[in-house]
Structure 1
Amino acid sequence: MDWEPHARRLADTVLRRRESRWWNVLASTPRHVFVPAWWEHGTSGPVARNGPDDPAAWLKTAYQDTTLITRMGTRHADHTTPGTLLPSGPWPTSSSTLPTLLVTMYRHAMLGPDSHTLVTTGTGYGTALACRRLRDPSLVTSIDIDPYLVTAATERLDAIGLHPRTAACDITTNLPGEFDRIVSTVSVRPLPASWLHGLRPGGRLVTTIAGTGLLLVADKADDGTANGYITADQASFMRTRHGDDYDTASPPPSVWDAADGDGDTVTTSRYPLLDVQNTWDIRSMLELQAPGIEHRFHRSTDGPRTAWMAHPDGSWARAAAPDRRTSPLVHQGGPRRLWDTLETIRDRLNRTGQLPVHGAQATITPDGQTTLRRGRWSATL
């Protein structure tokens, strides 16, 4: 299979400059090997696809700068009949991360020639990039909670001549060794204390905060603490899970049902209706202040628009407007007023022109407690 021209085009797309140290890394790594099957977005839900059944489509898909979902709930695409449709239900639980984001994470990690580096496995493609960049696969340890993913990735890495250390384990518990770099393409909250224990003094960790678009970089000091910052780059990954699938912490159907009814309080918003899930700063601020809210949004072309918010504690909000120019009517119920929290954040953005999440300084204690600060604002995870 003539995959090299596709890999070179991907490298050009991601890096734009062939002088980059990462260009040859991407251009020489066969991504399709790591994604022989995937879940494709369809009009009625995810559809299972298989690369070898259509090599041309396989190459086109694998070498796009996009994330490819490879596991939905407990369903591996590798083990699913091509064409199978999942109309609703499971959340994505594993993927091949878009290459631009992988390179961004590794650049923030500042991989050195002798950096013993811990990475998360997924399909193994990100592990392959780290191996190529460090030029010594023995410096790389790749872990995942899913034993099948680790086995499959190990075999695919072996097939292209890369032999890093791999292990099936939970990244939030004890790590398999000590490392100079930890690069996590799963999001966490709180930061696991095991990372501070497994990171050598002077070492660096790069991760994202669960539920937000915040990319955190921190360096470990000799006293066991770590100090860092939230980058200007935005990134979002699947949350860590501790078993075969995510724990059920979503709002129950009864909360969503209540959100379609009359609220205990009814007000008119000061702002146009917002699809919170597709914002970065506002969504991140809201998640820091009130973690666990889920969002739904419906719009028609220049017609009615509705946003819902729901929390496992039973709080909910619904805002509806007849068009994009009219202020929405807001119904809220449950123990907290979720839309009021959102409006407070939008008030701050309107007043100052920015939110403090990006560029915030981070302080991490040895037990993983993370505090973000910028000016007078602070948030502790």
Structure 2
Amino acid sequence: MDWKDHARRLAAEVARPDCPWGQAVAVTPRHTFVPRWYERDQEAGGRVVRDGAADPDAWLAAAYGDTTLVTRVGALHADDAEPGTVVTSGASTSSSTLPTLVLDMYKHAELVDGSRTLVTTGTGYGTALACHRLGSGLVTSVDIDPRLVASATDRLASIGHRPETAVCDLTRGPLPGEYDRIVSTVSVPTIPAAWLRALRPGGRLVTTITGTGLILYADKTPDGGARGRTSYEPASFMGPRHGDDYEETVPASVPEEAKNSDGEVSASRHLLVFVPETWSIRSMLQLHTPGIEHRERWYPDRSHTVWMTHPDGSWARAHATAPREAPTVHQGGPRRLWDTLEDILDRLNWLGQLPVYGARATITPDGTTTLSQGGWTATL
């Protein structure tokens, strides 16, 4: 299959011609790492498993587009499913990240010749790019899933890359070595102390914070902690998991209560917001109240309902009868989730921005991470 022109086109799209990362994209066969993937199909009512070998043109178009390709939903990897299988529920649990975002993470890491670097595995495509830039001997690639590590190791070897690979829970450690750079394309709720122990003096870590749109980069300090910033560019990755699938965190009774109970009723001061669609609001809310789950529904008459639920039993339901009408809000449980959201919206309307992007990051040796900007602080 003639893939090289497609790879060169993708490289021209995502990087400057003289950039070493562009050169890596131009010579790396991404399709090798994604022989099958999930694609949303409205008619089928879910995600459908696509098989590249059965449709080479679609395979090339998908693999060499600057887009994320989901390769695992729940516990079912696309490689293990029959082509055409339809999955109607479950969260994405592995993917091949869009190349632009992989390169952004590597650019934040400021990789240079000789940087011994730890990366996360996934399909292995990002590992291949790092191997091309640094050489396989300087790259270690880890994942919690033995099946992903094994398949990525084989696919990397098939194109001449032989980095060290290992099955490892990146959030808990220990990590298999010492590194100048740690680049995680798995989000973390806070910086694992294992990363700080594995970083060499002056080394840099780059990751995203779970549930937010924040890229965080920080350099190790002499006391064993680290200092850095959140990037001004938003991004997010899948959160960590410790088994085949993500565990349910909100009891089933809470969404049921949010759907049917009256609770405390009020009129909102703001138009209806669905938090996952807003980078800065989503980040600010997650930092204040981690773990909120969000759902929404549009109705044929253009009315709109959003729900917020939390593992502690708190819930909120807001319903607007028209797109530009302030919603009626119902809330219950130990916390008033919508009130917290409205405080954030007040701040955004008053100041025109939220302080989450470009914030200073201070990390103690045990991983406690504090963000600050102006008079605002948040500890993860």
2:46 counterpart residue number: 45
* Structure 1 stretches lacking a partner, 5+ long: none
Task: Tell me the amino acid that sits aligned with residue 148 of structure 1.
Answer: R
When the two structures are superposed, what TM-score results if normalisation uses the length of structure 2?
Answer: 0.97
Aligned residues: 377
The Cα shift of 1:225 comes to 1.2
CA contact (8 A) 1:302 1:324 kept: no
The Cα shift of 1:275 comes to 1.4
C-alpha distance in 2, partners of 1:37/1:335?
45
The Cα shift of 1:190 comes to 2.0
2:185 counterpart residue number: 185
SS at match of 1:244: coil
C-alpha distance in 2, partners of 1:354/1:246?
33
CA contact (8 A) 1:150 1:168 kept: yes
Cα deviation digits, residues 316-359 of structure 1 (max 9, x gap): 11111111111111111111110000000001111111101111
1:84 counterpart residue number: 85
SS at match of 1:78: helix
Cα deviation digits, residues 198-228 of structure 1 (max 9, x gap): 0001100000000100000000012211000
Task: Tell me the amino acid that sits aligned with residue 86 of structure 2.
Answer: L
1:290 counterpart residue number: 289
Aligned counterparts, 1:264-343, within 5 A = 264-300=263-299, 303-343=302-342
Identity percentage of aligned residues? 61
When the two structures are superposed, what TM-score results if normalisation uses the length of structure 1?
Answer: 0.97
* Structure 2 stretches lacking a partner, 5+ long: none
C-alpha distance in 1, partners of 2:263/2:322?
24
1:98 counterpart residue number: 98
Cα deviation digits, residues 12-61 of structure 1 (max 9, x gap): 2212x312222111111000000001111122111111111111111111
Cα deviation digits, residues 94-148 of structure 1 (max 9, x gap): 10000000000000000010000000000000000001111x1100000001111
Task: Tell me the amino acid that sits aligned with residue 66 of structure 1.
Answer: T
C-alpha distance in 1, partners of 2:226/2:301?
48
C-alpha distance in 2, partners of 1:325/1:66?
32
Task: Tell me the amino acid that sits aligned with residue 176 of structure 1.
Answer: P
Aligned counterparts, 1:230-241, within 5 A = 230-241=230-241
Is 1:120 equivalent to 2:130 in the alignment?
Answer: no
Off by >4 Å, runs of 4+ in structure 1:
none
Cα deviation digits, residues 137-165 of structure 1 (max 9, x gap): 10000000111111100110001011111
CA contact (8 A) 1:297 1:306 kept: yes
C-alpha distance in 1, partners of 2:160/2:62?
23
SS at match of 1:196: helix
SS at match of 1:233: coil
Instruction: Give the alignment's Cα RMSD to 1 decimal.
Output: 1.1
Aligned counterparts, 1:159-178, within 5 A = 159-172=158-171, 173-178=173-178
C-alpha distance in 1, partners of 2:372/2:141?
32
Task: Tell me the amino acid that sits aligned with residue 277 of structure 1.
Answer: P
C-alpha distance in 1, partners of 2:301/2:3?
44
Is 1:259 equivalent to 2:258 in the alignment?
Answer: yes
C-alpha distance in 2, partners of 1:296/1:246?
17
The Cα shift of 1:302 comes to 7.4
C-alpha distance in 2, partners of 1:358/1:301?
37
C-alpha distance in 1, partners of 2:301/2:158?
52
